[in-house]
């Protein structure tokens, strides 16, 4: 079958993610980070056009970075709301590029996953304030009830 749904497990959430989520009454014990073929299609269709995105174009080569981004981000926002969905956002800067990875918190009876929903990059290093502006622009994402993780400032 064409375009059959498939998912790839990235790994278990780090302890600090589970602890931060617990601080806002989210139980992420037993959850897994995962991506899907639909996620990859979305990212490449939305953020993978070199004519439009230039040096910020996301390619298949960028997907393996996601594991490192969720394990050791420079900044994370746990339990934000985007279009009424609970999400986590992870930010990692490498070689003058800032990567932003968004995952939805799926809390179904049979599906307990932190599933990738978008991934893009910015071709400069973003400050924490820049990241917050980027994530909350257009009032799509509400971070008022979320927990912030910024190991540089802790």
Q: How far apart are CA 37 and CA 35, in angstroms?
A: 7
Range of the domain at 115: 7-149
Per-residue model confidence (pLDDT) at position 50: 93
**Is pLDDT above 70 for 144?**
yes
Note whether residue 69 is domain-resident: yes
Q: How many other CB atoms sit within 10 Å of the CB of residue 20?
A: 22
Per-residue model confidence (pLDDT) at position 140: 85
Note whether residue 134 is domain-resident: yes
Burial status of residue 16 (CB atoms within 10 A of its CB: 0-12, 13-18, 19 or more): middle
Note whether residue 130 is domain-resident: yes
pLDDT in tens, 5-34: 899 999 999 999 999 999 999 999 999 999
Percent above pLDDT 70 for the chain: 96
Instruction: Count up the domains in the chain and report the number.
Output: 1
Per-residue model confidence (pLDDT) at position 152: 63
Q: How far apart are CA 91 and CA 4, in angstroms?
A: 30
Q: How far apart are CA 123 and CA 40, in angstroms?
A: 20
Note whether residue 154 is domain-resident: no
Note whether residue 1 is domain-resident: no
Per-residue model confidence (pLDDT) at position 84: 87
Note whether residue 62 is domain-resident: yes
Q: What pLDDT band is residue 139 in, cutting at 50, 70 and 90? A: confident
Contacts 24+ apart (CB under 8 A), 28-32: 28/105, 28/114, 30/112, 31/105, 31/112, 31/113, 31/114, 32/112, 32/113, 32/114
Per-residue model confidence (pLDDT) at position 2: 60
pLDDT in tens, 84-115: 899 999 999 999 999 999 999 999 888 899 99
Note whether residue 2 is domain-resident: no
Place of tokens 């990875």: 101
Per-residue model confidence (pLDDT) at position 64: 96
Instruction: Specify the pairing of strand 32-36 against strand 141-142.
Output: unpaired
């Amino acid at each position: 079958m064409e375009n059959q749904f498939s998912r790839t497990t990235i790994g278990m959430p780090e302890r600090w993610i589970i602890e931060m989520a617990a601080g806002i009454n989210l139980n992420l014990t037993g959850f897994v980070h995962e991506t899907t073929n639909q996620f990859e299609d979305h990212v490449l269709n939305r953020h993978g056009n070199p004519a439009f995105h230039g040096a910020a174009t996301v390619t298949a080569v960028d997907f393996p970075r996601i594991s490192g981004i969720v394990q050791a981000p420079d900044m994370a926002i746990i339990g934000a709301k985007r279009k009424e969905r609970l999400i986590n956002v992870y930010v990692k800067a490498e070689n003058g590029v800032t990567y932003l990875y968004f995952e939805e918190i799926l809390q179904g009876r049979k599906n307990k996953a932190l599933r990738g929903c978008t991934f893009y990059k910015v071709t400069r290093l973003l400050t924490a304030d820049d990241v917050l502006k980027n994530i909350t622009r257009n009032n799509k994402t509400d971070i008022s009830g979320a927990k912030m993780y910024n190991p540089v400032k802790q």
